[in-house]
Amino acid sequence: MPTTRHDASIVHVDLDAFFAAVEQRDKPSLRGKPVVVGGTGSRGVVSTASYEARRYGARSAMPTQEARRRCPAGTAFLAGRHAAYRISSEVVMEVLRSTTPVVEQVSVDEAFLDLAAAGPDGLLTRLSAEEVGAHLRHEIVAATGGLSASVGLARSKMLAKIASEMAKPAGVHVVPPGREREVLAPMSVRVISGVGPATERRLRGFGVETVADLARVQLADLVSIFGEAHGASLHALARAQDPREVTTHRSSKSISAEETFPTDVADPATLATEVERLSGQVARRLEESHGFARTITVKARWHDFRTVTRSGSLPFATGDPVVISREATRLLATIETADGLRLLGVGVSGLTSHAQGELELEATLTVPTRPTTTVVDHPDAGSSPETDEKVADGAAGSGSPVTPAPSWATGADVRHERHGRGWVWGSGAGIVTVRFEGPRTPPGRIRTFDVDDPELAPAEPPDWRG
């Protein structure tokens, strides 16, 4: 393996069932019980399932309705609390940065560390790789009030991430230096960075299913099939040759595809087909660049050259064309297209080198950015166009703020003037049921109130630290 590293000094830390684990920590009545976080509606999708729920077959990206059918009565289906997850994530990243100055946060629940960057006083000079992993796990548990992590160590980023998967849940796994190819050989080609569903299907067509199969394919053949960059990368990674370093900063990049129509298009079905096609192009380019993206953008231009963009940021990184198309379709629905579009584009940004499958939420849980509308005056001959940048809040095209109707999402934090802090057990038919408990209390009592009870209000996440 061509690397200057002699030790397993790259670490991948992945928090176990993160969203569900935070909910169980903050809600003592749910500890040890099946918990599913994600979309709770009829079209919802599971984001994270606790290990108790996984025993019944619940898993990430599964329709919530299917998870409800599989899980027993009493399973908690929660809408998610991103503020609580963000706070816990920040605490974990502080722990990791106290270990080494070079930490690459991949997502809210995972990061790479370069232990070699800690210098002669670093943990690896005093502890074995296994002991380093155990130390990190202990520090995370202590700092977060009990959240567990899986830790992988290796000489490369790809192998460290694979090792953390092998360590799940709540374990430590080290890929011994010099045994990388031996570890990779029997695994599916999907473990290789940059191998998504499309690449996997093409490789299977050539009889390639395992990494060992891929390692036997000649470089020239891979380049002829996948192109110079992607083919060369597959050839190297199948041989455990991964030179990528842990970096603290990511360059800002984007990938996009757009189409200028011969005549203006207003037909919704045609525009929907075009969104799907452009999303597929973007997904293929992401796969070729070994990337995944968090932000989806739709660009539309009318006959008079007025141009708008709508962007939404997902709480997870994706390279799935279905997800990109779904989000782009949602964004396009906020744009008035009845007069016909001259141009339509789909783009992605917020790129990362790793997907975050456990953070996949339904479209209703997407966190949209403020939609930016750019109005470009049609230029006169010989003159330069003038650009007027506007930011439109609320409904598309209205330009006026919209105050969302109050809602009591299942699992949301609340406070009652007389009863104190709690969380929404359920709501409907004009009432909201609250269980009053917190991370440092025993399981609490359940009480029911009118949805417009003036003493009941949303609250910030509870502090488990005291």
pLDDT, tens only, 156-168: 999 999 999 999 9
Least confident of 179-183, 390-394, 404-408: 390-394
- The pLDDT, as a whole number, for residue 3 is 52
Q: What is the pLDDT of residue 1?
A: 42
- Residue 135's alpha-carbon distances to 248, 324, 357, in angstroms, are 22, 39, 27
| Helical H segments across 318-396, by residue range | 321-332
pLDDT at residue 416, rounded to an integer: 96
At 20, is the pLDDT very low, low, confident or very high (cuts 50, 70, 90)?
A: very high
Which residues in 7-31 are b (16+ Cβ under 10 Å) and which e? bbbbbbbbbbbbbbbbbbbbbbbbe
According to the model, what pLDDT value does residue 364 have?
A: 36
Q: What angle do CA 112, 113, 118 make, to 5 degrees?
A: 170
- Residues labelled catalytic: 110
Please report the pLDDT score of residue 251 as a whole number. 52
How many other β-carbons are positioned within 10 Å of the β-carbon of residue 115?
25
Global pTM value: 0.70
Q: 10 Å Cβ neighbour count for 420?
A: 14
For the chain, give the longest Cα–Cα distance.
74
Are the CB atoms for 227 and 246 separated by under 8 Å? no
DSSP letter at 205 equals H
Provide the pLDDT confidence category of residue 371 given band limits of 50, 70 and 90. Answer: very low
Could you tell me which residue, 250 or 137, shows the higher pLDDT? 137
**Mean pLDDT for all residues in the chain:** 84
pLDDT band at 102 (very low <50, low <70, confident <90, very high): very high
Cβ neighbors of 350 (< 8 A, separation 6 or more) are: 293, 294, 295, 313, 317
